[in-house]
Structure 1
């Protein structure tokens, strides 16, 4: 087993939790980061990711990815990279598993609808809502609101994509309470979680796009990284039908990206003489990253996926319908809060902006199918594209 490197976050050096917990109440021989990971897995918000959009909204096919399966795949990649670089595997896993908890139903289409609904009330951002959910909305414990995660986990979730100069209201609220040092780079564990997310969806969305018939192998061959990988796979399995080689293409491409990430990150750590967690946060730049050729290839892949999958006419039609569902729910609850369940109605603030934010909290926690059912209940029929 690879030991921890000098730049790894260690649980015994954690900055702790907002609410003190007595040692005698700890269940089982787990350290602080292991408990964070387990609290995330056991949370209602994590379970709801099972029915939240990844690429395809409320898919009627059992083989498409959803937010939950995506998060598990990100964690698998993140653990591998963390272990090889000597990082804290448990903290990395916790960050990977929790990174999408703040997504509303229907993914970015739902987020756009809530952003518009909260215009003038602070807007909506799924990353900030992840922090809000984990520090406030989740309430499994009698002594405090939230999961009471360590500072290290919350910091990594807040800025896994880098420093934040102008946090929106949800993240700013958490920062005011905990002090997340938003102007600094996060831990290497957080940086690895962020790029593991990219590796997972870059490749698995290809798999889902091919399965759905929205992408073809011929289209993908415009990308050198895919074309080169496809030639290698065909050479390795010359007598296997093409449809059985897609999985091998995807796994080989993930392996290529992971290996490149590990080697490029090691080189940067050595070149910058990184010798501690403080060095990581004070480096003033991202450290976990691809080599320049792989960065270019990954950028081209993303551009291709936006043009050919995420902005495919059928996807845009689905997003428009989903946007209407979320916007319609918000308008209905804002006009008549009595339509909300008792627990949410009883806690509704009277003054803005918290009144609108409370309604958005309720909607953001919905799964795709629950949102569709509530829309039909409180608004009326909705015409959904095929595939819902």
Structure 2
């Protein structure tokens, strides 16, 4: 029996009957199993080592070009993975599957966070980062060959947001913990930025969660584990759900749609739209590997792949080189 087979048997013996077992993992392109890692461990490792995951450290979460200690998209993904694994462990579900979904859920995010996503949506008519995350991992990574992730991981990534829910409990954990993470940590960053104060929080949110991010996360995680224990569903109690929705409304009003950030959001959208327009009009200026994929996927799709994949800093660098006149030297 290989090390992997021992892990797979341990899952069968130990995990909840509702857990997704690694031995049941499916890939669209069959491949030889690893001697040491389960299929979901392999998926997690492939995502961590991918270019798109590395670029997340230079992609905005909320604040464009923030200083030290503010969350970037990679920090957010790591925090979602940590919170999600805590819930999965508490419910004796598959932690490796949960972590793989959490680490990969935002790799398709554009530069400048949701401002960049909104810009591409306005240009294209339809663009959602969850769909782009799946496309990146399935068709863009590894020089266009994709990572050949399991169906279970891909489904969790695609459905971490939107109208459809994942078909695994592990995917549903990530779907909820993504919201837990961004609400609590964007609130923390909002205080650091001076955009809000703890006393601004609605009273029901304070009574239910407290005013510190750690107590907020603990309350939501404890409720998820308690409410979901022993049932084939990931759920939260009604009081916690109501307080969470109230918290989310508060964050949209005070941070996400704040007039204080509107000017920066407009600038970010302008950069993304101009870059898309430029490369769509001048496809010969795309990197060679992207040009070679146009016939297979269409020009529009490949320009989206390129522009959405840029880091914030590189998008700004490209914009300056393409649209800002250089300063002449001499007298």
- Which residue does the alignment assign to 1:225? 205
Question: Following TM superposition, by how much is the alpha carbon of 1:213 offset from its aligned partner in structure 2, in angstroms?
Answer: 0.6
- Which residue does the alignment assign to 2:3? none
- Which residue does the alignment assign to 1:292? 238
User: Which residue, out of 19, 28, 47, partners 2:29?
Assistant: 19
Question: Following TM superposition, by how much is the alpha carbon of 1:344 offset from its aligned partner in structure 2, in angstroms?
Answer: 2.4
Q: Per the alignment, in what secondary structure is the counterpart of residue 294 of structure 1?
A: helix
CA separation of 1:83/1:329 partners in 2, compared to 1, >3 Å: closer, same or farther?
A: same
Question: Following TM superposition, by how much is the alpha carbon of 1:228 offset from its aligned partner in structure 2, in angstroms?
Answer: 6.1
1:78 and 1:93 in contact (8 A); partners too: yes
Question: Following TM superposition, by how much is the alpha carbon of 1:161 offset from its aligned partner in structure 2, in angstroms?
Answer: 4.2
2:159 and 2:175 in contact (8 A); partners too: no
Q: Per the alignment, in what secondary structure is the counterpart of residue 70 of structure 1?
A: helix
- Which residue does the alignment assign to 2:50? 43
Q: Does 1:10 align with 2:17?
A: no
2:205 and 2:246 in contact (8 A); partners too: no
Q: How does 1:1-388 map to 2 (within 5 A)?
A: 3-14=14-25, 16-23=26-33, 26=34, 29-59=36-66, 61-119=67-125, 123-139=126-142, 145-161=145-161, 164=164, 186-220=167-201, 222-226=202-206, 230=210, 249-266=212-229, 269=231, 274=232, 287-349=233-295, 354-380=298-324
After TM superposition, where is structure 1 displaced by more than 6 Å over at least 4 residues in a row? Answer: none
- 1:151 and 1:346 map into 2 onto residues whose CA distance is 27
CA separation of 1:130/1:72 partners in 2, compared to 1, >3 Å: closer, same or farther?
A: same
- 1:20 and 1:125 map into 2 onto residues whose CA distance is 29
1:332 and 1:379 in contact (8 A); partners too: no
- 1:252 and 1:226 map into 2 onto residues whose CA distance is 10
Structure 2: gaps of 5 or more residues: 1-9, 326-331
- 2:209 and 2:177 map into 1 onto residues whose CA distance is 20
2:105 and 2:158 in contact (8 A); partners too: no
1:162 and 1:185 in contact (8 A); partners too: no
Question: Following TM superposition, by how much is the alpha carbon of 1:296 offset from its aligned partner in structure 2, in angstroms?
Answer: 0.4
Question: Following TM superposition, by how much is the alpha carbon of 1:192 offset from its aligned partner in structure 2, in angstroms?
Answer: 0.3
CA distances 1:272-295 after superposition (whole Å, capped 9, x unpaired): xx4xxxxxxxxxxxx212100001
CA distances 1:179-200 after superposition (whole Å, capped 9, x unpaired): xxxxx75110000011111111
CA separation of 1:346/1:229 partners in 2, compared to 1, >3 Å: closer, same or farther?
A: closer
- Which residue does the alignment assign to 2:329? none
Question: Following TM superposition, by how much is the alpha carbon of 1:346 offset from its aligned partner in structure 2, in angstroms?
Answer: 4.1
- 2:183 and 2:203 map into 1 onto residues whose CA distance is 13
1:104 and 1:364 in contact (8 A); partners too: yes
CA distances 1:288-308 after superposition (whole Å, capped 9, x unpaired): 121000010000000000001
- Which residue does the alignment assign to 1:240? none
Question: Following TM superposition, by how much is the alpha carbon of 1:160 offset from its aligned partner in structure 2, in angstroms?
Answer: 3.4
Q: Which has the higher contact order (CA 8 A, sep 6+)?
A: 1
